[in-house]
Amino acid sequence: MASETEKRLWYVADQLRANSRLKSSEYSVPVLGLISLRFADYKFTVAKQEIETHRISSRRGITKADYQAKGVLFLPENARFSYLLNLPEGENIVAEGQRGGEFFTPTSLVKLIVEVIEPYHGRIYDPACGSGGMFVQSANFVERHKKNPNAEISIYGQEKTAETVRLCKMNLAVHGLSGDIRQGNTYYEDFHSSVGKFEFVMANPPFNVNGVDKEKVRTDNRFVYGVPKPDNANYLWIQAFLSALNENGRAGFVMANSASDARQSELEIRKKLIEDRVVDVMIAIGPNFFYTVTLPCTLWFFDKAHSNCRDNVLFIDARGLYQQIDRAHREFTPEQIEFIANIVRLYRQEPIETSKGSQKLMEHYFPAGRYREIPGLCNVATLEEIIDQGYSLNPGRYVGVAEKKEDDFVFSERLHALNEELERLNADAHELEEKIAANVVTILEERPDE
């Protein structure tokens, strides 16, 4: 399915390259706009049929409010996808965009973050909100637990790029959501007066950003643990997420692996985070989850509600869990997301969920229905153990290595099979050598003077 979608998108890119005035970095703007409109049009059409069916005996006309009550964006006639399809060729349908190529968070990582922080009710903040994926998945989480997202959660976001702010608002709208999304540079601007305000913070900030003006942020009350000396903004983001939480707040965010073991002034900030007992869970993610880069990452989770009584951190190494989409891309399956989140639920002594098919995994790894240490997968480390590890928050330091099962094979049979494979490869190599030698002779005969 993913490869078919890629082929269609490449076809669209070829059409835009040949027949539009857009630069390649701008292709995403009309494409994402049309995809969003198509999705909104589908939901609108389904809702329209339902509303008309229920109102068939009513004299009151159908209004915009009827669609809003169903969490659906109302589309005027000339804004519907079918209207655009029927326009004459050459008609101007999508305005030229300004920018493209924004960095999107993989959906499976967003879903995992949501499952771990469990945003059932309250104010959700993302100061690097991009296209708003964190908000949409939070709403899906609430809806899946039989609640109305618009009644349970309030959405607040900030994003540096004007085009991406518009894309976020559009994404919210097509999902029947609304929120207060502001344009601003989060390093220097805090338009939501975020300190101590939010029940939940979720984000995927840009990694390892250089060039932030340290003098501008030195007295900012969001950075209570201090400004790191290296030219790297990771620990500014980490502090911005923590400072935005109220006394019962939870945060979940994506962070570069290097931040888990960063030294010098960043280590001093990490010491304070650990000693203040706000770090709840750390999850290591393998490479190739992001579409445009191969780097692995770590998911950090804060929980201020239990900071006064917690002396440990749950570490999960999820690098061995993934589904290979194609040669270069991976994702978590719904079952794997549920399984990882269930490890956290057991650690918190909460009921597990198995609606996505994780029952067999849970029975295999946690047969007693209680949390336990599993080498290579999960371990709870005490504050003393973390101090002994130099205040590292790298899950690999704590979970150990999974026990390897003995191979179930007869050695002589395996050796025979490997020898046959080696002989086949040697034969192929000799054949290639002969072809190369013959080609060299032919070239020299055709060009005797060179």
CB of 46 closer than 8 Å to CB of 71: no
Mean pLDDT taken over the chain: 84
Average pLDDT over residues 83-89: 55
What single-letter amino acid sits at 259?
Answer: A
Structure tokens at 443: 């070239």
Average pLDDT over residues 160-178: 86
Yes or no: say if 74 and 208 are a contact pair by the CB < 8 Å rule: no
**Is there a contact between 376 and 317 (Cβ–Cβ < 8 Å)?**
yes
**Domains in the chain with CATH codes:** 2-85 (1.20.1260.30), 107-399 (3.40.50.150)
* Residue 24 pLDDT: 64
Q: Which parts of 133-275 are beta strand (E)? A: 153-159, 180-183, 198-203, 245-256
Asked if residue 27 has pLDDT above 90, the reply is no
Parallel/antiparallel/unpaired status of strands 279-285 and 245-256 = unpaired
**Which of the two residues, 286 and 58, has the higher pLDDT score?**
286
pLDDT given for residue 58 in this prediction: 57
Q: How confident is the model at residue 88 (pLDDT cuts 50, 70, 90)?
A: low
Confidence at residue 94, expressed as pLDDT on a 0 to 100 scale: 72
Burial class from Cβ neighbours inside 10 Å (0-12, 13-18, 19+) for residue 247 reads exposed
What does the pLDDT average to over 84-112? 60
pLDDT at 100: 35
Indicate if the pLDDT at residue 66 is higher than 60: yes
Average pLDDT over residues 151-170: 91
Q: For residue 96, is pLDDT > 50?
A: no
- Pick from 254, 327, 314: nearest CA to 288: 327
For the ranges 10-14, 89-93, 149-153, the lowest mean pLDDT is seen at 89-93
Give the chain's largest Cα–Cα span.
Answer: 95
Q: Which pLDDT score is estimated for 260?
A: 95
Beta bridge partners of 404: none
> What is the mean pLDDT of the segment spanning 16-32?
63
CA angle 339/106/227 to nearest 5° reads 100
Q: What is the mean pLDDT of residues 91-115?
A: 66
Supply the pLDDT for residue 404: 64
| Residue 239: predicted pLDDT | 98
Task: Lowest mean pLDDT of 65-74, 79-88, 317-326, name the range.
Answer: 79-88
Q: What CA–CA distance (Å, rounded) separates 237 from 204? A: 10
Residue 90 pLDDT: 47
* pLDDT band, very low/low/confident/very high, at 93 (cuts 50, 70, 90): very low
Lowest model confidence (mean pLDDT) among 29-33, 117-121, 380-384:
29-33
**Residue 418 backbone class (left: φ over 0; alpha: ψ -120 to 50; beta: rest):** alpha
- Picking from 46, 51, 76, 45, the residue whose alpha carbon sits closest to that of residue 66 is 51
Average pLDDT over residues 236-253: 97
336 with 322: CB under 8 angstroms? yes
Does the pLDDT value for residue 282 go beyond 90? yes
